[in-house]
Amino acid sequence: MQAIKTAPGTINNILSYYYDKNAAERCVTFIEKFCTHVKGELAGKPFILEEWQKDDIIRPLFGWKREADGLRKYRTCYVEIPRKNGKSNLAAALALYLLFADGEPGAEIISAAGDRGQANIVFQIAKEMINNNKHLRARAKVLRNIVEHKGSWYKSISAEAYTKHGLNCHGIIFDELHTQQNRELWDVLSTSVGARRQPVIISLTTAGHDRSSICYEMHEYSEALINGSIVDETFLPVLYKADADDEWTNPKTWKKANPGYGTICNEAYFEDAVKKAKSNPSMINSFLRLHLNIWTSAETAWIPDDIYMKGAKEIPFDRLPSLPAYGGLDLASTQDLTAFALIFRDDENDCFYLICHQFVNSEKAHSKKLAAGIDYLQYARDGDITITPGNVTDYRIVKQHILDACEKYDVREIGYDPKFSTYIVSELIENDIEMQPMAQNITSMNGPTKEMEMEIMKGNVIHGGNKCLRWQFGCAIIYTDNNENKRVIKEQKENKKVDGVIASIIALNSYVQNKIDGDDDIILDILTL
């Protein structure tokens, strides 16, 4: 476990600061006497603090005082800690201490987060703690969106709030700072404490992946304080984390990064999480970030080649005309690859058959700049690519291929990226083909990407070993946002393509959406009986 209680050389500066044991223990006593657990098998029982919670966070934060005026030394406390270590309970208890027992007249206490749902988590826990204790309950007025106590109040707020100005905060509990899309909320709230005697901002968060974020700025600032390269005697950094070169599957690493290991979170929980990550490589970065508190890239390799090749079984082409088919069209610029995918659902064998055909212009196919292992001419000989004449992809050939496929198979719908598709889509619609736009943003792509990942991992997507598609799956990496939404992007190197992958995901999305719509129809039929 790596926990740094203060920056080097600040606590022992006896000329400026002293340790007030009574003040430190006052907060500890308040939490253990008046706060409770609210979930799980301990729900309703007293919140007995772990030693690391007391020694690393509470006692330094509330115990160290300035000799000049007796006010608190630390005004900002940044805690970076993996999930499942009781972060939200501790945050709620600290908020209640600041509201009920910190001695600040007319205190304004805020629970803040990136969105309303996240901000409300700590606030709701605090409300339940109040309801569980007769002394707090008797002294508070608990309303839906605010808790009031003798002229002080506590509420939650998010980046979505219509206004954050006009606040005069005594205490700010900032939950999951890594989810902040920008620094606006942090800046507004951190400047709202200027009129208070000893305000405190407490941020409790897991690591993230956005290195341009306010959270990473705080992370780097904390690291600099810890290694002594800067000095800020008002800032308390507390980091619990593994190191990047630690073996992520080793229980010693789990214990090192998680101060609540063995008490709040157990070994079985980590064993299960590691097992899932091993079987789904795109989850490894999430495990490193959420459970070992290691800042990662937003991007991670998606489908390993051995997993992709689970689907290299022979496609029963004679069965395909009898199966419902759904298409996906990724129409790139005329200088790049265009991909058309068809996915067939075989309920009898509980699998999908995937046919992906791509198009490239002759000049590009014969280019000498192609990287080793990329052979458009061989892909064409294999029947996976059509090479169109000239230096641009001929959309007329693409359109005819799609029309021929629709004539041959029972194509129910074709999804498409509307970015480059206006011309060809209008002509396909004129031929009575059902077309459905699907933008390639993370919100639209998240669901079908996860669905494709799950089906491929299970070996349920039979593609016949398509070599061109195999190459593109090898180029595909996953971008994950702060809300764990996923989308496929290509590795940012020359000669990396994912067009066939995108077309396949769009095709699967068409199937899923039509299945959902079909279920809705069944429900409506039943309700009208």
For residue range 396-423, list pLDDT tens digits in order.
Answer: 999 999 999 999 999 999 999 887 667 7
Mean pLDDT across 457-478: 92
* Dihedrals phi, psi of 325, to nearest 5 degrees: -125, 145
pLDDT for 10: 43
pLDDT for 4: 42
pLDDT for 529: 44
pLDDT for 524: 42
pLDDT for 408: 97
| Rounded Cα–Cα distance for residues 117 and 110 (Å) | 14
CATH 3.30.420.240 domain locations along the chain: 305-520
Question: C-alpha dihedral over 39, 4, 18, 27, to 10 degrees?
Answer: 0
With beta carbons less than 8 A apart as the criterion, state whether 318 and 107 touch. Answer: no
Under the banding of pLDDT at 50, 70 and 90, the label for residue 333 is low
Q: Which of 98-102, 154-158, 360-364 has the highest mean pLDDT?
A: 98-102
Confidence (pTM): 0.69
Q: What is the DSSP letter of 55?
A: I
- For residue 164, is pLDDT > 70? no
pLDDT for 117: 86
Nearest to 461 by CA among 373, 379, 342: 342
**Residue 102 host element (H or E):** none
With beta carbons less than 8 A apart as the criterion, state whether 177 and 184 touch. Answer: no
Q: How many whole angstroms from its chain centre is CA 292?
A: 15
Q: Which of 9-18, 23-32, 185-194 has the highest mean pLDDT?
A: 23-32
pLDDT for 200: 97
- The three-state secondary structure class of 227 is helix
Q: What is the DSSP letter of 292?
A: S
With beta carbons less than 8 A apart as the criterion, state whether 155 and 108 touch. Answer: no
Task: State the pairing for strand pair 108-113/171-175.
Answer: parallel
Q: 494 or 198: whose pLDDT is higher?
A: 198
Mean pLDDT across 220-243: 96
**Fold of the domain spanning 17-240:** Rossmann fold (3.40.50)
- Per-residue tokens: 174: 């900032």
- Per-residue tokens: 326: 């759904």
Beta strands in 211-350 (DSSP E): 235-239, 299-301, 324-330, 338-346
* Dihedrals phi, psi of 110, to nearest 5 degrees: -125, 130
117 Cβ contact partners less than 8 Å away, ≥ 6 residues apart:
none
CATH 3.40.50.300 domain locations along the chain: 17-240
Mean pLDDT across 117-133: 94
With beta carbons less than 8 A apart as the criterion, state whether 169 and 108 touch. Answer: yes
Mean pLDDT across 280-293: 85
Domain 305-520 has CATH 3.30.420.240: yes
- For residue 342, is pLDDT > 70? yes
Residue 202, beta-bridge partner list: 77, 173
With beta carbons less than 8 A apart as the criterion, state whether 489 and 299 touch. Answer: yes
If you write DSSP's letter for every residue of 15-42 in order, what string do you get? Answer: TTEEE-HHHHHHHHHHHHHH-B--SGGG
| 18-to-62, 103, 398, 502 alpha-carbon distances in Å | 11, 20, 77, 61
Q: Over the chain, what is the mean pLDDT?
A: 89
Percent of the chain's residues with pLDDT above 90? 69
- For residue 526, is pLDDT > 50? no
Residues in the chain: 529
Mean pLDDT across 19-27: 97
Under the banding of pLDDT at 50, 70 and 90, the label for residue 496 is confident
